[in-house]
Amino acid sequence: MNESIIDELSARIKDLSAKTEQEIEDIRVKLLGKKGEITALFDEFRTVPADQKRLFGQRLNILKNEAQQRINELRETLASCDSAASGEDLTMPGDVMQLGARHPISITREEILSIYKKFGYSVAEGPEVEDDWHVFGALNFPPEHPARDMQDTFFINNQTDNNILLRTHTSSIQVRTMEKGQLPIRVVCPGRVFRNEAISARAHCIFHQVEGLYIDKNVSFADLKQAVLLFAQEMFGADTKIRLRPSYFPFTEPSAEVDVSCNICKGKGCNICKGTGWLEIMGCGMVDPNVLKANGIDPSEYSGFAFGMGVERIAMLKWQVKDLRNYFENDVRFLREFSTVI
């Protein structure tokens, strides 16, 4: 007996292949059967000199195991091919369960609301189909104000009828809250709003807002500024700065637009903030005394502030989404990017 026979047989065993049960059985008989090659080597073992018995004994046992293992492998491969033919592939990985994710607009709306809830605000909602009074009239919009124009507002019926329309902002919920006559008021009003605008990367005819209203005795502009600053720091990070720019809304006086320091470039100037270092996040102001009066609140006793922001805009700034249309197209490749945001 010499080692090269064992080596050669071992190499052949590794290369064995078979397509049927019969071929595997033939291989087994040829190697391990009564007259098989390995069996023959075991017979020959008797003649091996005593000093080599240990070496050859070990080698032969290993060879026999290799043969048996290879035969088992061939059987397994054949069995899985058979089950593939019957429609099952037992070697296939299992189906991965796809987990759903919350929509980025829902995530952002909840985050905005939870910040204001921490500040002691409650949440109020209202109808999407509204009347002229709740969207414009009670908010000091003069009759000829362009926001009432057909360009901006989707009217449900003829404007000369009773002026039913889709709300253009959630300030209508603030009117409904004031109507209830319970003071003081601290509410945030989330909801979908509608404006007759051409759809583009930066504008959509449907979007979401969160607006807020705070009415009490002795509420000042300093309170508004503090509320806006705390919100900005909760939303965009503790080192966020704010800037108020004078603005105009019919329902607030004075009014301001709020900018936050760009959280991407930290104020240095980048393409998100268009080199200015500032990003506009909301409108705000002190509630106009005419609005208080129109809603049965005495402006000599009470004052308040209001603010309103677009949820899409906040989400865009938080995640640097460049095209607003992504939010509405339900492309799972976009939505999946938010699956890890809780």
What Å distances lie between residue 7 and 14, 56, 64, 68, 228, CA to CA? 11, 12, 12, 16, 82
Q: Considering only residues 7-66, where is the footprint of ligand PHE by CB under 6 A?
A: none
304 touches ligand PHE (CB under 6 A): no
Q: Which two tokens stand for residue 121?
A: 């605000």
Q: Considering only residues 105-164, where is the footprint of ligand PHE by CB under 6 A?
A: none
For ligand PHE, give the closer residue by CB, 72 or 122. 122
For ligand PHE, give the closer residue by CB, 18 or 228. 228
For residues 217 and 224, give the distance between their C-alpha atoms in angstroms, rounded to a whole number.
14
What Å distances lie between residue 53 and 31, 46, 193, 305, CA to CA? 21, 9, 91, 99
171 touches ligand PHE (CB under 6 A): yes
Min CB(135)–ligand PHE separation in Å = 10
Q: What are phi and psi of 336, to 5 degrees?
A: -65, -25
307 touches ligand PHE (CB under 6 A): yes
Q: Is the peptide bond before 190 cis (omega within 30 degrees of 0)?
A: no
Min CB(193)–ligand PHE separation in Å = 7
The sign of the dihedral angle between the CA atoms of 328, 331, 334, 337 is positive
The number of residues that bind ligand PHE (CB under 6 A) is 11
For ligand PHE, give the closer residue by CB, 104 or 285. 285
Q: Are 31 and 37 in contact (CB under 8 A)?
A: yes
For ligand PHE, give the closer residue by CB, 307 or 327. 307
Q: Considering only residues 180-239, where is the footprint of ligand PHE by CB under 6 A?
A: 211
Q: Considering only residues 275-294, where is the footprint of ligand PHE by CB under 6 A?
A: 283-285
Among residues 27, 67, 135, 306, the one that binds ligand PHE under rule CB under 6 A? 306
Min CB(303)–ligand PHE separation in Å = 14
DSSP class of residue 84 equals H
Greatest pairwise CA separation for the chain in angstroms: 120
- Interface contacts to ligand PHE, rule CB under 6 A: 169, 171, 211, 249, 252, 283-285, 306-308
